[in-house]
Amino acid sequence: MIRKILLLLFLTSFLCFGIDHKVIVEWFENDLICLSAQTLYTPSKPLKIYLLTQTGHRLPKHVESDRYVFDVSRTSWILLEVFGKNSLGFTMSGSDPEKIDLSVFRAEPDIYVFSDLESGRTYVVVKIPDGWTFKGCKLQNVSFRKFYHAGYLYLYTTDKLKDGIDKLQVNFLLPFGVEKTFVQELFILNHAVNILRGGTEPYVIEPVAPYQHVVQRGETLWEIANRYGVRIADLEIANNLPDGNRIVAGTVLKIARVKFLESLTTLVINTQTSKLALYYNNRLVKTFPIAVGKSDATPPGVYWIMKKEIDPALYWYGEYIPPRSPINGLGTRFFQLSNPTYGIHGTTKPWEIGKRISHGCIRMFNQDIETIDAFINVGTKVIVVRSTEDFPENLKDLR
């Protein structure tokens, strides 16, 4: 009798404290984790799953069939609490794993795309987070070769890519069998590749006294920029403002100027021939016709694109002219240059392209400036020249 009791206690202890459930991470997105569990016994009741976190216990937000979705924001780890009953009525609570580190799901890969026009190669460079496994890369069904260097995965293809907007998909396998795909939209122009609408070139921030400003009610970014002798785009970039027209009273702004250091994409404007050339990594990609300033109103020099706008509004002597208005001559895109007097923009008067007609800004066909906008980066260098020579194939040969 005593032996039977001891055996029963042993079995009960084994069943209660062994691995009773295999927990599966179905997916992780936006601080939501979806879990399911496989029972290693014959269950008599539905399972219950809870989490213990840094901020206490958490119940599932909702249950989808046998899947439990939890909000795991504000915690870096979770302890799993899985409860069920077997056919003998014993409570089963062991799980594998018992703890999950969430940082492995919150990590993101660094993905860079660039073209080497001389060799005809397109590269995808990936920094893979710890614990992740690269599974594949897809772009226009081209084939990629790969190699590793200095902790980065390099994928490259010599296949020619079709022009236009396309999507790069990079697939990874995460711990616990979670699959994750990162999608990046690209713009391809004459075999040169950049992320759609570009990124931002490297820059430094140069603080300007008094270094900070607290926005007052009714103030505009234009007024603040003029007060401290900086540009509106300086304040937008230095303070990471997505829309400088919407600033809230009480916001503390850094007062600074932005200086770009280098430029992967470059525009060269020839006011003599009324043409614009687009360069990528010093190689000529395409040329476009333009309208320039009358009487040489566009001064030669080196500028930088500080801001790109879609469907820009026009402010003319204090009057607001809405986007796409027939009397708004900016067209569908506007690039603000580092000299705020000048810009590059579309036009509502395409018949003027090729003429000397503006007050100093550069005008383009809307479809042409939309193509450039889809390809270049903020911080693109703009070189204005006055020459009778053709654009060189290599920017380094520009006189």
Q: Which residue has the tokens 């004459």?
A: 190
Of 234, 247, 164, 245, give the one whose Cα is nearest residue 204.
Answer: 234
Element holding 168 (H helix, E strand): strand 164-173
pLDDT computed for residue 268 by the predictor: 98
Q: Which two tokens stand for residue 394?
A: 């290599």
Of 254, 267, 285, 279, the C-alpha closest to 342 is 267
Structure tokens at 5: 């009791």
Q: What pLDDT sits at residue 12?
A: 45
Which CATH number fits the domain 203-260, given the four candidates 3.40.30.10, 3.40.1670.10, 3.40.50.620, 3.10.350.10?
3.10.350.10
**Fold equal for 107-195 and 203-260:** no
The most distant pair of C-alpha atoms in the chain lies apart, rounded to whole Å, by: 112
Which CATH code is given to the segment(s) 2-105?
A: 2.60.40.10
pLDDT computed for residue 356 by the predictor = 78
Kindly tell me the burial class for residue 268, based on how many C-beta atoms sit within 10 Å of its own C-beta (0-12, 13-18, 19 or more). buried
The per-residue pLDDT for 315 is 77
What are the φ/ψ torsions at residue 304 (nearest 5 degrees)?
A: -135, 145
Q: Considering the domain 107-195 in this protein, what is its CATH number? A: 2.60.40
CA atoms within 13 A of residue 68's CA, in its CB half-sphere: 20
Helices (H), 229-278: 232-238
Phi, psi of 242 (to 5 degrees): -70, -30
| Nearest C-alpha neighbor of 39 from the set 22, 14, 18, 25 | 22
Nearest-CA neighbor of 124 among 154, 104, 152? 154
Provide the whole-model pTM.
0.87
What amino acid positions are annotated as catalytic residues? Answer: 345, 361
Q: How far apart are CA 196 and CA 277, in angstroms?
A: 19
Please tell me the class of the 265-397 domain. mainly beta
Distance CA 346, CA 363 (A): 5
Q: What stretches in the chain show pLDDT beneath 50?
A: 4-17
* Integer Rg of the chain from CA: 30
Tally of helices (H runs) and strands (E runs) in the chain: 5, 32
Predicted local confidence at residue 16, as pLDDT: 44
Could you tell me which residues come within 8 angstroms of residue 356 by beta carbon, excluding any fewer than 6 positions away?
A: 274, 291, 292, 293, 294, 295
Domain ranges of the chain: 2-105, 107-195, 203-260, 265-397
Q: How confident is the model at residue 5, as a pLDDT? A: 42
